[in-house]
Amino acid sequence: MKIMKFLIVVVLLPFFATASEVNPYEWEKNRTRYKLSAEEQKLTELILKHHVQYEYRLEENDFVMYNTVHRIVFVNNDEAVQKHNRITISMSSTLDLVDLKARAISKDGKVVNFDKNNLKELKDEASGNAYRIFAIEGIELGSEVEYYFTRKMQASLFDRSFLQFDVPAKKASFRLSCPNHLKFDFKPYQGFAEIKTEEGEELNVYTSEMENVPALREEPYSFFDNNRRRVEFKLAYNTARSKARLY
């Protein structure tokens, strides 16, 4: 870990322009419930939205990454309710939990918002990993459970984002932004949508999304993660320094 941090400083710090402001992530404040088909309403659980994004920034000579996960899940049996009434956030490589919002929307449209006083901290003594755990109240059969969190993290130059799960997803999406002199390479796996690139005067933005992602069940002795739809990415160029490919 110390070697990688040193490498980031050497390769990147001398070549950053002034850091731009990070726009806080926001959800739709007064949204209506999703309209589901008759078949979807019969499902015990359905991911209505799974969105993950990475924002790379330089702040006070530190190269950091803001990682946001936003998920909406339709829960339609007791097992699904129990599965989603408590959410765990890993704090590995995390400098700060910047934002967290959660709510449950019942079948009749009643909204119960997350009380931040219910946020707890947990540390696994065996591994030393820290977590934030919170409960979402007001979940009942047919509810939509929605939450998002943003973590300020140590910047990762190589990473992957899984976009397929053990239940079907109505929509899964990915976004990465970085200063325009940095360029990332991407590789979608198992048929996930190709990355679209938008190069701007200040930022490069990379996006991908797919609808109706099927569930992938984990089986004993199988390579579950290798078979999941995902996007893997790495920093490929720092054009302010050189046109040569990094790593």
Report residue 58 CA to chain centroid gap. 20
The low-confidence residues of the chain, meaning pLDDT below 50, are 1-20
Sheet order of strands, 196-199 included = 111-113, 94-105, 144-154, 62-75, 45-59, 169-179, 203-213, 196-199
8 Å CB contact between 181 and 15: yes
How does pLDDT run across 8-46, given as a tens digit for each residue? 433 444 333 344 456 789 999 999 999 999 999 999 999
8 Å CB contact between 73 and 127: no
Q: What is the pLDDT of residue 8?
A: 41
Interstrand relation of 45-59 and 169-179 (parallel, antiparallel or unpaired): parallel
Q: What is the pLDDT of residue 21?
A: 59
Helices (H), 36-170: 38-41, 78-84
For the chain, the farthest-separated pair of C-alpha atoms sits apart, in whole angstroms, at 58
Instruction: Dig out the tokens for 171 from the structure.
Output: 């929509």
Q: What is the pLDDT of residue 83?
A: 94
For the whole model, what pTM was predicted? 0.88
Q: Which of 99, 111, 198 is nearest to 149 (CA)?
A: 99
